[in-house]
Amino acid sequence: MIYFDNAATTFPKPETVYRAMDNCQRTFCANPGRGGHKLSLQSGRVILEARELLADLFNSGSPERIILTYNATEALNLALKGFLKRGNHVITTSMEHNSVVRPLKTLEKRGVDTTIVQCNEYGEIDISDIEKEIKKETVLIVSTHASNVVGTILPIIDIGNLAKKYGLDFLVDASQTAGLYEIDVNKMNISMLAFTGHKSLMGSQGTGGLYIKKGLELEPLMEGGTGSKSESLYQPDIMPDRFESGTRNTPGIAGLCAGIGFINSKGINNIREHEQNLTKYFMDGIRDMGSVRIYGTKSAGRQAPVVSINIGDVGSSEVSYVLDQEFDIMTRPGLHCAPLAHKTLGTMDQGTVRFSFGYFNTKEQIDEAITAIEKIAGGV
Amino acid sequence: MIYFDNAATTFPKPETVYRAMDNCQRTFCANPGRGGHKLSLQSGRVILEARELLADLFNSGSPERIILTYNATEALNLALKGFLKRGNHVITTSMEHNSVVRPLKTLEKRGVDTTIVQCNEYGEIDISDIEKEIKKETVLIVSTHASNVVGTILPIIDIGNLAKKYGLDFLVDASQTAGLYEIDVNKMNISMLAFTGHKSLMGSQGTGGLYIKKGLELEPLMEGGTGSKSESLYQPDIMPDRFESGTRNTPGIAGLCAGIGFINSKGINNIREHEQNLTKYFMDGIRDMGSVRIYGTKSAGRQAPVVSINIGDVGSSEVSYVLDQEFDIMTRPGLHCAPLAHKTLGTMDQGTVRFSFGYFNTKEQIDEAITAIEKIAGGV
């Protein structure tokens, strides 16, 4: 069994992640931040540890400004709906996931003006195309760090500088990069960073978060019990409680801590190098097959470990199905919840077969995939 | 170590819950509903199984109308903000948790009119007091099934009938009762039922949900990737995808399935009987201690297994601290995120020490608690 769907969720996780979650559940999983007994405090410390590890990872300082959410989608909804107001203008890219595009479409109905800047067929953006769209109502630029379809890395340092130059805020969707690429929210002028816990951060599903820079005021997406200022009928202002209503996923967050611990012990650069090597090896292995088309930059150094391909005119679902059934290789076909990206790549009808690699994948597995693709392509 | 904080989260969970979660994580935890490979499909089946188990438990039919959320707070925010519109009037009770009250306070700012019906000092409501408040703008009644502070069970059958009589919708917060009391959404005329997975349903934190009756149209709280209709920039209309953007907490939901399986195997009535017996035994044991005040109905048959007390004028936090430190008994002091309930009970200043029992608690543990309370009360 070969799992190449790590851009959807990494699998397997490090052994320490499994153990941390099971240990949490079995030995101390009370309700964090509610009550002051031993187990509640121990659970609370796990939540705090996650905030500290994430604040260190993103060099943000202020662990209390790391909001722990259900997933990146909640984080992006909170960021977009909490920040943007009627009359505001926001600029984003044509490589965004539906978790950015769909909330923006809802916000358009509420009087927010949206511009989607077109990327080229490799998923690359021209900074000057963003700059051209800035007007006096513009308050925010939103960009993915790397495309979930073809892995193309967007120039977030340059976009951050542009945002700074014009006094705009900058929201980055790091769903495909957090835990794999160095992210420094201060150096990169990132105002808000949305991330998921269950991809390259190696944690459990049911975890994610949003970093919110100091001074940025958002409206909460949800209100409720926060375990703080219980006497008030109104949502408290204190961070992170303002944005964390209801019980957090303590066992999942314990797993997330272990996942980040694993990354720190292996070294983020070593992990990335391994995955980039696999990406390069894979693309080199299929590059010259006549009927195989690779989308995106085709350069492992310029993309996350995500490779989208098609074989002739065969539907991506069919190829993915054959890979799974005949070769026991798991990939994801279709549009990957990012229709604008597929329009950009010219793959709206066919979709793509997406191979996404993780730390536990090996060169031998890539060899098997190359052989399988060769066989499928030979029959086309 | 004695854990009496089950109203915050049940601890421990059944062994089968731990195993289901660990097995899910280790053997098949891909992204459910994304892609069609073996592991994704297996993960998807867990999500579907949870919907089916919950639909059976609540006798709702239509598993696709069980929305799986992060927690009850998200479910309540979705229900209230998705349903109520400017100009609508909603009636609720003074026993609600802040997860109902705080979203309603936000909705008031958006032009929703709210009436909070006062309960008596035992947390009981007079149906005619609700009926009096119904006016032509009224569209919804919201009630907790049982108070999280004193356990008082609200007459949801009668409220449901009242709602039916006036053609109103009815939202029930079953955070303290789902998995412990029989809930039949059809018989009870419940339009929306919000629940958490990590309390009496015995599942993991990071799980909860909302049942939405057929024909009821809500606006989503969040939009994003749904793994369906990926070509559309707009949120799809199909259920449950419309309200489930982003990756679900598959391992947590696997645990929830095992938790419901545990309840079904033991029998919900047997579980409730055990917890009611403990509640009665506890109240009988402390009822006649001079300085101990019990709040609520003081009748185990009319309340969930939640007992709030105070000892003389000692602060609830101090009592809870002593119980934890000197007697290794874990309780929760303070306001329990329900200030209106405390105003109703007359405990706004002192808070209460809350004992909440679970299936794994024993009579011997209650004996220890009674002895501890006797000792603390003796020193007052």
How far is CA A148 from each of CA A213, A283, A341, rounded to the nearest angstrom? 25, 17, 9
Distance from CA of A357 to the nearest CA of B (A): 14
| pLDDT the model gives residue B174 | 98
How many Å from the N-terminal Cα to the C-terminal Cα in chain B? 25
Contact present, A52 and A61 (Cβ < 8 Å): no
Strands B2-3, B329-330: pairing kind: parallel
Residue B208, judged by CB atoms within 10 A of its CB (0-12, 13-18, 19+), counts as buried
Q: Test A77 with B245 for CB contact under 8 angstroms.
A: yes
Structure tokens at A61: 């300082």
Of B11, B76, B224, the CB nearest to A73: B224
Quote the CA–CA distance of B58 and A333 in Å, as a whole number.
Answer: 36
Which residues, listed in sequence order, are joined to residue B148 by a DSSP beta bridge?
Answer: none
Measured between beta carbons, the chain A residues lying within 8 angstroms of B255 are 25
What pLDDT was estimated at residue A379? 81
Option in A74, A233, A335 nearest B101 (CB)? A233
Q: Which residues of chain B does A231 touch, with a Cβ-Cβ cutoff of 8 Å? A: 335, 339, 348
In the numeric block, the tokens 């350069």 are attached to: A299
Q: Which residues of chain A make contact with B246, given a CB cutoff of 8 A?
A: 70-74, 99, 208
> What is the distance in angstroms between the Cα of A165 and the nearest Cα belonging to chain B?
30
Is B6:B357 a contact under the CB 8 Å cutoff?
yes
pLDDT mean across residues, chain A: 97
Does the beta-carbon distance from A335 to B230 stay under 8 Å?
yes
Across the range A4-8, mean pLDDT stands at: 98
Spatial distance between the Cα atoms of B341 and A225, rounded to a whole number of angstroms? 13
For B171, the enclosing helix (H) or strand (E) is: strand B169-173
Q: Is A335 helix (H, G, I), strand (E, B) or coil?
A: coil
Q: How many CA atoms lie within 13 A of B95 on its CB side?
A: 29
Inter-chain residue contact A205 with B249, CB threshold 8 Å: yes
Is there a contact between A272 and A181 (Cβ–Cβ < 8 Å)?
yes
Q: How many residues does chain A have?
A: 380
Instruction: Name the DSSP class of B360.
Output: T
Task: Decide yes or no: CATH 3.90.1150.10 for domain A267-378.
Answer: yes
Chain B hits for A70, Cβ within 8 Å: 69-70, 74, 206, 246, 249
3-state secondary structure (DSSP) of residue B334: coil
pLDDT in tens, B261-289: 999 999 999 999 999 999 999 999 999 99
Mutate one of B10, B223, B322, B356 to test the A interface: name it (highest A CB count within 10 A): B223
Subunit contact B73:A246, Cβ cutoff 8 A: yes
- If you search the block for the tokens 């790549």, which residue do you land on? A345
Among A2, A148, A241, A249, the residue to mutate for chain B (most B Cβ within 10 A) = A249
A341, closest residue in chain B (CA to CA)? B231
Contact A324, B38 (CB under 8 A): yes
CA distance B227 to A334: 10
Query: How far apart, in whole angstroms, are the C-alpha atoms of residue B343 and residue A230?
Result: 12
**How far is CA B234 from each of CA A98, A141, A299, B222, B225, rounded to the nearest angstrom?**
8, 20, 32, 12, 10
Angle at B30 between CA B29 and CA B36, to 5 degrees: 135
Query: Which of A24, A29, A257, A337 is the catalytic position?
Result: A337
Q: Which residues of B touch A252 (CB under 8 A)?
A: 204-206, 249, 251-252
Least Cα distance to A245 among B175, B156, B249 occurs for: B175
In angstroms, the separation between the Cα of residue B159 and the nearest Cα of chain A is: 23
B33 pLDDT band (50/70/90 cuts)? confident
- For residue B129, count CB atoms less than 10 angstroms from its CB and return exposed for 0-12, middle for 13-18, buried for 19 or more: middle
Catalytic residue list contains A337? yes
Query: In degrees to the nearest 10, what's the CA dihedral of B190, B194, B200, B206?
Result: 160
Q: Which residue from B minimizes the CA distance to A99?
A: B224
Give B-chain residues touching A21 at CB under 8 angstroms.
21-22, 25, 251
Per-residue model confidence as pLDDT tens digits over B75-93 = 999 999 999 999 999 999 9
Position A35 pLDDT exceeds 80 = no
Q: Over pLDDT 90: what percentage of chain A?
A: 97
Kindly report the nearest CA distance between residue A345 and chain B, in angstroms. 14
Q: Which pLDDT tens digit goes with each residue over A233-272?
A: 999 999 999 999 999 999 999 999 999 999 999 999 999 9
Strand partners, B192: B171, B212
- B80 vs B73: CA distance, rounded Å: 11
3-class SS of residue B311:
strand
Kindly determine whether residue A340 and residue B12, on different chains, have CB atoms separated by under 8 Å: no
Say how far residue B74 (Cα) sits from the centre of its chain: 12
| Rg of chain B taking only CA atoms, in angstroms | 21
Q: What's the confidence (pLDDT) of residue B315? A: 95
Rounded Cα–Cα distance for residues B58 and B188 (Å) = 10
**Catalytic, out of B24, B29, B257, B337:** B337
**Mutate: best of A5, A23, A70, partner B, most B CBs <10 A:** A70
> Whose CA is closest to B96, among B168, B152, B180?
B152
| DSSP states of B238-300 | STTGGG--S---HHHHHHHHHHHHHHHHH-HHHHHHHHHHHHHHHHHHHTT-TTEEE-S---G
Q: Sort A135 into a burial class: Cβ within 10 Å, 0-12 / 13-18 / 19+.
A: exposed
Q: pLDDT value at position B34?
A: 80
Minimal-distance CA residue of chain B relative to A235: B102
Quote the DSSP letter at residue A47.
H
Residue A9 near residue A198, CB atoms below 8 Å: yes
User: Shortest CA distance to B57 belongs to which of B260, B266, B202?
Assistant: B260
Question: What ranges do the domains of chain B cover?
Answer: 15-265, 267-378
Cβ count within 10 A of residue A150: 30
Question: Measured between CA atoms, how close is A209 to chain B, in angstroms?
Answer: 13
pLDDT at residue B16 tops 80: yes
How confident is the model over B200-213, as pLDDT tens digits?
A: 999 999 999 999 99
Q: Which CATH class is domain B15-265?
A: alpha beta
Measured distance CA(A64)–CA(A58) in Å, rounded: 13
Instruction: Say whether A22 and B26 touch across the interface (CB within 8 A).
Output: no
Cβ separation of A251 and B250 shorter than 8 Å? Answer: no
- The average pLDDT across A159-169 equals 98
Q: Which residues of A touch B70 (CB under 8 A)?
A: 69-70, 74, 206, 246, 249
The type of residue at B369 is A
| pLDDT tens string A59-89 | 999 999 999 999 999 999 999 999 999 999 9
Rg (CA), chain A: 21
pLDDT digits (tens, 9 = 90+) for B291-302: 999 999 999 999
In this prediction, residue A294 has a pLDDT band, given cuts at 50, 70 and 90, of: very high
Q: What per-residue confidence (pLDDT) applies to A115?
A: 98
Residue B101 and residue B116: Cα distance in Å, rounded?
A: 9
**Chain centroid, CA B199 distance in Å:** 7
The Cα–Cα gap between B354 and B214 comes to 38
pLDDT digits 0-9 by tens, B231-271:
999 999 999 999 999 999 999 999 999 999 999 999 999 99
Listed in order, strand segments (DSSP E) in A155-279 are: 169-173, 192-196, 208-212
Name the residue among A119, A213, A203 with its Cα closest to residue A159: A119
The answer to whether residue B379 scores a pLDDT higher than 90 is no
Task: Give the position of tokens 């760090």.
Answer: A145
pLDDT at A55: 98
